[in-house]
Amino acid sequence: MNSNAIEEAIHRYVNERMDKGKKQATERFLAYAYMKFCGEELLEFMKKVGGISRYYMDFLSVMKNPFKGPEFAWIMSLLILGIIGGMLVSDPDTRNMGIFTLTGVIVNGWSLLSTLCKKWLKLSVLIAIYRELAEISDNEAHSIG
């Protein structure tokens, strides 16, 4: 069995699900599977789709954590700059530089928060879609086998 066909079917389902909804995506996924594979190949295909979907769910669950990606470096940089800005504000000679530094930390902190929220939303939706696909493939595998 070609793994490219499995990956292609999964990505088609995800794209179709985001664009046109669950019903049409499910119908097109099943039509693709039944036209491309038959018999034992179809059962194997459904099992592999379910397994790969679960792998993607696990991977994306890890990626949702902001302390496991590039956002962690951004958080630490902002924390260090915030501390430096606070120290600069406390000295009358460098107060203006400290104010500018803290302002930059606030702006970049807001940007980071916005980025994290968008990432969490997108990954949560993808996890839900992969969960649906795993359920569809498991139900089909049970009805076939």
Q: Model confidence over 95-135: pLDDT tens digits?
A: 999 999 999 999 999 999 999 899 899 999 999 999 999 99
pTM (2 d.p.): 0.79
CB 10, CB 133: distance < 8 Å: yes
- Where in the chain are the domains? 3-144
Instruction: Give φ, ψ of 31 to 5 degrees.
Output: -60, -45
Query: Residues 47-104: pLDDT tens digits?
Result: 999 999 999 999 998 888 877 778 889 999 999 999 999 999 999 999 999 999 999 9
